[in-house]
Amino acid sequence: MSTQLPESETETETESDEQAPSAPVQQQRRMERKRARAEEEEREAVEEETELDGETYTLKVFRYDPEVEGKKRPRFDEFVVPYHKGMTVLDALMYARDHYDSSLTFRHSCRQAICGSDAMFVNGRQRLCCKTQLSDLTDPVRVEPLPHQEVVKDLVVDMQHFYDQMDAVEPFFQTNDLPSGLEEQHQTRENREKVKMSTRCIWCGACMSSCNIAAGDNEYLGPAAINKAYRFAMDEREGEELKQHRLEILEQEHGVWRCQTQFSCTEVCPKDIPLTEHIQELKREAVKNNLKFW
Amino acid sequence: MHEHDVVVVGAGGAGMRAAIAANEEGADVALVSKLHPVRSHTGAAEGGINAALRDGDSWEDHAYDTMKGSDYLGDAPAVETLCQDSPKETIQLEHWGMAFSRDDDGRVSQRPFGGLSFPRTTYAGAETGHHLLHTMYEQVVKRGIRVYEEHYVMQLAVTDHEDPEARRCHGVVAYDIKTGRINGFVANDGVVIATGGPGQMYDHTTNAVANTGDGAAMAYRAGVPLQDMEFVQFHPTTLPSTGVLISEGVRGEGGILYNSEGERFMFERGYANNVGELASRDVVARAEQTEANEGRGFENDSVMLDMRHLGEERIIDRLENILHLAEDFEGVNALEEPMPVKPGQHYEMGGIETDENGETCIEGLYAVGECACVSVHGANRLGGNALPELIVFGARAGRHAATRQPETAQIQTGPSAKSEDGHVDTPVTPGEIDAGSEDVVADGGALLDAPAPEVVERTVARENARVEELMERDGVNHAEIRADLQQSMTRNVNVFRNEAGLKQALRDIRAAREGYRDVAVSDPSRTYNTDLLHTIETRNLIDLAEALTLSALAREEFRGAHWREEYQFRDDEQWLKHTQVAWNDGRPDLYYTPVILEGEGGEYEPKERSY
């Protein structure tokens, strides 16, 4: 069982609260019956499909829903999906959802590794489901939500903390020195090359989820946010003055010095961003800059 | 109930640009989006942004190329606005720090693209959209613009005057995906729809799963016509197994296409004797499909795209992302072997009819980006013209919504622009099915002329009823209906079209509509109920697919991306006009409006397109 099971089944807003004024008892009963049926059908469907011909993969998928009786206690469901060449973990999840259990919930959109919404914990490692081939994994394939984040439902985690950390580094371009009108700022090819990898981040959250330090220190900015800061600190168009300002943000107590160079973020990054190196480089810049070790 | 001056629905490139522009005018803006903004599909755009930035180029040349590319179905005032504003807006992105690729002198790089007479496509590697999207989101954060992420807008709150042009949009109703609560949003000054394309009506598409045309379908049902929906762009280079896009930049940099007989068919088979692979997209897509149909394709009916001769250094510098896509999604090392590619649904040229300010015929309702049809792409969009559309018309719509400045638009919208009625023989009665509780499940409808909060509240009540009904009852899973619809569209309303196929599609769409009467959501939970979300989306896909297919059946000519077996010539005499489909109480009403070919420097004379 994964480590990120919710600590307690706290009362979230249930649908009966929301509909209280207008929801007659009759409707609640119908909904209860429907829920009971839904659970039953779901089990049947999963069992039925184990009789498939041809090559299959078995998914063991983490399930949790604060509102549904049978899913309040987290569990794993098994789905057996027919395999075809080139099939990804996301394809398999979609197959399971569309054919067996329409309540199976996960984020996904572009299915080409650019929207960043389907990072999950697959066979014990943070991966983007859309670019992970089933054939690269051992069967059965265990799919869980990203560790160290609160689970909203099934494979969906709450990303708010990740976004908050991003916001903390002033994640936008700043300069006091813009050319006027139609004139562009110049940037050398070398400088663009230097920041290139850092600009590839798709905010999937895999790095943050893999980071032991972030897991233990909720205030640590974390690899994604530091990388975002790197992207601007190293961009020559912002100028020296702003670079100082950025370094001040980064060398705060829960900034770059928290990193213990375990490289887990770099290892899991689906866009191959050298996150750990970026963090180290910012540490060096901070030292050059004089500053404090926490 | 939330209240803002301007409510923008959708937070991709167009939506965020609109929000920023409205914010700059001092408006209190809300971005309401079913995804987090950085998840938007703008991020998947690869090629670049066309802008006349250099000596030797001019906005007039850009406009000329665009009019020609559109097969003379673009409206000159819109096309000229696009080309005039694009340099300013592109440089604006640079000033916001966007990571454009650079020339040796430090200026932004530009490259050649299909259908362009000058290398004016400004780019950031082969991931321009990703950089544009993130740059824009950075500005949203910087300005503290309120973002309601993972809020799915299900309905517009519009008054119910008989005449659509007398209606007013007062806000929207959105489902908070995380909690299941249905909230009203009052928009004091305007609602901007920027929800992107409807690619999910096809099963082989470059579009994200979220691209279900929600905004276009909502505007359509609220009374705004859908314009030129028959013009669907099939991108010539998508990976056969997934539909993942391989940028036109590959051909722009010199990539070549060949068939299973080793012929460079764009030249050798005479499809485009002058520019070969760099002909406009409709031309290349048809060429490929013809090769496949005549047995000169590879398995999966694909052809090969080869970029090995460009050399590793140039590929890494300008097309690195393509290497990753080819490897991850097709298992091909594109440095060592060619990539299989085939045409795939990519872009809907048509959409919500708007003027150059993004405004529709309903007061206070705007649309921008792929969901809209201001008519810059006409019958065929040039590569590199979608991103400038987002920033140019996004900014204009945002500004206009916030200020209501009476900038007169030259493009007239709504039924009063009608030039003639359309007629088409259909094998089934398209449109509404009136039965039982259908109106609750299907639609808002039946709104009223009342103060804004009341209109919004009523809409919230109706949407609550609709959702309760969908969740309580038992029935068919929407996924079956969606899959049937997607397959029929791909089979019948694709690169090549004929009357029998289009009529079959209409029958299948009718069947989908009937099937949808019994649709039900089986997930009983209010928390993050994607079953509910996809069920509502599916209804939107049905309505848009129908408008598209009707428009295609009616247009009896061959223009741009719209190829008809029975009509192999462009017929300027009869068809130099825009198709409009209006909802009209559930019965699609077909009519036409004139194309505006008169630009600032005179008329764009329709000529034969040769490349």
- Which chain A residue has the Cα nearest residue B178? A152
Q: Chain B: give the shortest CA distance to residue A131, in Å.
A: 6
Q: Does domain B1-231+349-611 have CATH number 3.20.20.70?
A: no
Residue numbers of A between 40 and 99 with CB closer than 8 Å to B: 41, 65-68, 86, 97-99
Which residues lie closer than 8 Å to B101 by C-beta, 6 or more apart?
A192, B108, B109, B123, B124, B125, B317, B318
In whole angstroms, what is the distance from residue A52 CA to residue A54 CA?
Answer: 7
In angstroms, what CA-CA distances link A229 with B131, B217, B371? 16, 40, 34
Is any Cβ of chain A less than 8 angstroms from the Cβ of B162? Answer: no
Active-site annotation holder among B281, B458, B564, B609: B281
Whole-number Cα distances in Å, B418 to A207, B224, B402: 55, 13, 29
Query: Using CA atoms, how far apart are residues B30 and B26, in angstroms rounded to an integer?
Result: 13
Backbone angles phi, psi at B391, to 5 degrees: -80, -35
Look at A38 and B522 and tell me if their CB atoms are within 8 Å. Answer: yes
The residue of chain A nearest to residue B129, with distances taken between CA atoms, is A114
B236-345 to CATH, choices 3.20.20.140, 3.30.460.10, 1.10.600.10, 3.90.700.10: 3.90.700.10
Q: What is the mean pLDDT of residues B35-51?
A: 97
Q: Give the residues across from B367 on adjacent strands.
A: B193
- Chain-chain contact of A188 with B471 (C-beta, under 8 angstroms): no
A53 pLDDT more than 90: no
pLDDT of residue B450: 78
Interface check for A235 against chain B (CB to CB < 8 A): the answer is yes
pLDDT tens track for B265-322: 999 999 999 999 999 899 999 999 999 999 999 988 999 999 999 999 999 999 999 9
Q: Identity (one letter) of the amino acid at B113?
A: F
pLDDT in the model for residue A54? 83
CA distance A261 to chain B (A): 27
Q: Which structure tokens are listed for B122?
A: 């400004």
Nearest to A112 among B105, B244, B477 (CB): B244
The H-assigned helical ranges of B377-451 are 386-403, 438-442
pLDDT of A25 over the 80 cut: no
Which tens digit of pLDDT belongs to each residue from A235-250? Answer: 999 999 999 999 999 9
Beta bridge partners of A203: none
Chain A residue numbers with beta carbons less than 8 Å from the beta carbon of B530 are 105-106
Tokens standing for B183? 């909230």
On the question of pLDDT at B27 being above 90, the answer is yes
CB-based contact (8 Å) between B106 and chain A? yes
Model ipTM?
0.94
User: What does the pLDDT read at residue A12?
Assistant: 39
A186 has pLDDT over 50 = yes
B4 is written with which tokens?
């803002």
A135: chain B residues, CB-CB within 8 Å: none
B-proximal residues of A, 116-135, CB under 8 Å: 116-117, 131
All residues of chain B having their beta carbon less than 8 Å from the beta carbon of residue A199 are 99, 131, 134
**B281 is an active site residue:** yes
Bridging pattern class, strands B496-497 and B563-564: parallel
Q: Is the pLDDT of residue A77 over 80?
A: yes
| Predicted local confidence at residue A248, as pLDDT | 92
Interface membership of B54 toward A (CB under 8 Å): no
Residue of A nearest to B132 (CA): A199
Confidence (pLDDT) at B411: 95
In which band, very low, low, confident or very high, does the pLDDT at B440 lie, cut at 50, 70 and 90? very low
Q: How confident is the model at residue B585 (pLDDT cuts 50, 70, 90)?
A: confident
> Which of A31, A66, A179 faces B527 most closely, judged by CB atoms?
A66
How many other C-beta atoms are found inside a 10 Å radius of the C-beta of residue A19? 19
Strand stretches in chain A, DSSP E:
56-63, 75-82, 119-122, 125-128, 141-144, 151-153, 156-157
B87: chain A residues, CB-CB within 8 Å: 182
The model's confidence at residue B407, banded by pLDDT at 50, 70 and 90, is: confident
Which residues in chain B have their CB less than 8 angstroms from residue A238's CB? 97
Tell me the pLDDT of chain B averaged across its residues: 94
CB-CB neighbors (< 8 A) of A171 in chain B: 138, 141
Distance between CA atoms of B355 and B363, rounded to whole angstroms?
A: 12
Task: With CB atoms and an 8 Å threshold, state whether B106 touches A186.
Answer: yes
3.10.20.30, 3.30.565.10, 3.30.930.10, 3.30.160.60: which CATH number matches A56-157? 3.10.20.30
Cβ A110–B477 below 8 Å, yes or no? Answer: no
| pLDDT band of B393, cuts 50, 70, 90 | very high
What is chain A's mean pLDDT, rounded? 87
DSSP A106: -
Per-residue pLDDT, A27: 62
Pairing of β B29-33 and β B2-9: parallel
Which positions 6-35 of A are in contact with B (Cβ < 8 Å)?
A: 12-15, 18-19, 22, 27, 30-31, 34-35
The verdict on a CB contact (< 8 Å) between B104 and A189 is yes
Q: Identify the band that residue A128 occupies on the pLDDT scale cut at 50, 70 and 90.
A: very high
The pLDDT assigned to A229 comes to 97
Backbone angles phi, psi at A64, to 5 degrees: -165, 135
Range from A15-29, B1-15, B472-486 carrying the lowest mean pLDDT: A15-29
Yes or no: say if B437 and B468 are a contact pair by the CB < 8 Å rule: no
Q: Does B242 touch chain A (CB under 8 A)?
A: yes
Cα–Cα distances (Å) from A210 to A112, A162, A207, A255, A275, in that order, read 22, 13, 5, 17, 12
Reference B3, options B140, B183, B188, B190; nearest CA is B188
Compare B449 and B532 and report the one with higher pLDDT. Answer: B532
Worst-scoring range by mean pLDDT, A13-27, A138-152, A224-238, B282-296? A13-27
Residue A264 structure tokens: 């887990």
Chain B, residues 257-286, CB within 8 A of chain A, namely none
- Inform me whether the pLDDT recorded for A22 exceeds 90: no
Q: What was the pLDDT predicted at A51?
A: 52
Distance between CA B39 and CA B585 in Å, rounded? 35
Q: Which two tokens stand for residue A210?
A: 């893999």
Residue B329 — pLDDT band, cuts 50, 70, 90? very high
Q: Is B95–A185 a contact, with Cβ atoms under 8 angstroms apart?
A: yes
Contact A179, A185 (CB under 8 A): yes
CB of B322 closer than 8 Å to CB of B250 = yes
Given B44, B95, B210, which is nearest A112 (Cβ)? B44
Give pLDDT, residue A43: 57
* Pick from A22, A65, A116: CB nearest B39: A116
Our CA-based measurement puts residue A231 at a distance from the nearest CA of chain B, in whole angstroms, of: 10
State whether A182 and B96 contact (CB < 8 Å): no
CA distances from A240 to A128, A173, A284 (A): 36, 13, 16
Residue partners of B444: CB distance under 8 A and separation at least 6: B155, B156, B157, B158, B221, B222, B459, B462, B463
> Which pLDDT value is given to residue A98?
96
Confidence of residue B451 (pLDDT cuts 50, 70, 90): confident
- Measured distance CA(A159)–CA(A222) in Å, rounded: 13
Tokens of B57: 């180029």
| Beta carbons of B528 and A183 less than 8 Å apart | no
Can you tell me whether residue A259 is helix, strand or coil? coil
In this structure, how many other beta carbons lie within 10 angstroms of the beta carbon of residue B170? 29
pLDDT of the residue at A108: 98
The values of phi and psi at residue B152, to 5°, are -95, 115
Least confident of A54-58, B96-100, B210-214: A54-58
Residue extent(s) of CATH 3.90.700.10 domains in chain B: 236-345
Q: Are the Cβ atoms of B525 and A153 closer than 8 angstroms?
A: yes
User: What distances in angstroms separate CA A167 from CA A160, A210, B121, B136, one per listed residue?
Assistant: 10, 20, 32, 14
**Mean pLDDT over residues A88-94, rounded?**
97
pLDDT digits (tens, 9 = 90+) for B154-169: 999 998 888 999 999 9
Contact A109 B108 (CB under 8 A): no
Nearest in space to B87 (alpha carbons), one of B56, B55, B123, B49? B49
Asked if the C-beta of A113 comes within 8 angstroms of chain B's C-beta atoms, the answer is yes
Left, alpha or beta for B288 (phi > 0: left; psi -120 to 50: alpha)?
A: alpha
Contacts of B109 (CB under 8 A, 6+ apart): B100, B101, B102, B103, B122, B123
Residues of chain B with CATH 3.50.50.60: 1-231+349-611
Q: For the domain bounded by A160-175+187-290, which CATH number is listed?
A: 1.10.1060.10
Q: What is the nearest CA distance from B91 to chain A, expressed in angstroms?
A: 6
Quickly state the pLDDT bin for B447 (edges 50, 70, 90). Answer: low
Query: How much of chain B, in percent, has pLDDT values that exceed 70?
Result: 97
Residues 6+ apart with CB under 8 A from B254: B307, B309, B310
pLDDT digits (tens, 9 = 90+) for B126-146: 999 999 999 999 999 999 999
Instruction: Give the residue on B whose Cα is nearest the Cα of A26.
Output: B472
* B448 at A interface, C-beta within 8 A: no
**Res A287: pLDDT:** 86
Contacts of A26 (CB under 8 A, 6+ apart): none
Short-list B410, B423, B426, B424, CA closest to B594: B410
Going by C-beta distance under 8 Å and a sequence separation of 6 or more, which residues neighbour residue A25? Answer: none
Which chain A positions have a beta carbon within 8 Å of B44's beta carbon? 110, 112, 114-115
> Nearest-CA neighbor of B101 among B46, B59, B41?
B46
Q: What angle do CA B191, B195, B198 make, to 5 degrees?
A: 140
Q: Is B300 on the interface with A (CB under 8 A)?
A: no
> Is B524–A113 a contact, with Cβ atoms under 8 angstroms apart?
no
Q: Are B95 and A192 within 8 A, CB to CB?
A: no
Work out the average pLDDT over B462-467.
91
Nearest residue of B to residue A12 by CA position? B179
- How confident is residue B404, by pLDDT bands cut at 50, 70 and 90? confident
Q: How many helices (H) and strands (E) does chain B have?
A: 16, 24
Contacts of B126 (CB under 8 A, 6+ apart): B46, B47, B247, B249, B250, B318, B319, B320, B321, B322
Residue ranges covered by each domain of chain A: 56-157, 160-175+187-290
pLDDT at position A292 is 53
B505-533 exposure pattern, b = at least 16 Cβ within 10 A, e = fewer: bbebbbebbebbeebbbbbbbbbbbbbbb
- Which positions in chain B touch A98 (Cβ < 8 Å)? 477, 479, 483
Tens of pLDDT, residue by residue over B203-245, are 999 999 999 999 999 999 999 999 999 999 999 999 998 999 9
What Cα–Cα distance (Å) separates residue A126 from each residue in A179, A204, A215, B563? 43, 10, 14, 46
Q: Identify which of A31, A111, A173 has the shortest CB distance to residue B472.
A: A31
A56-157 and A160-175+187-290, same CATH topology: no
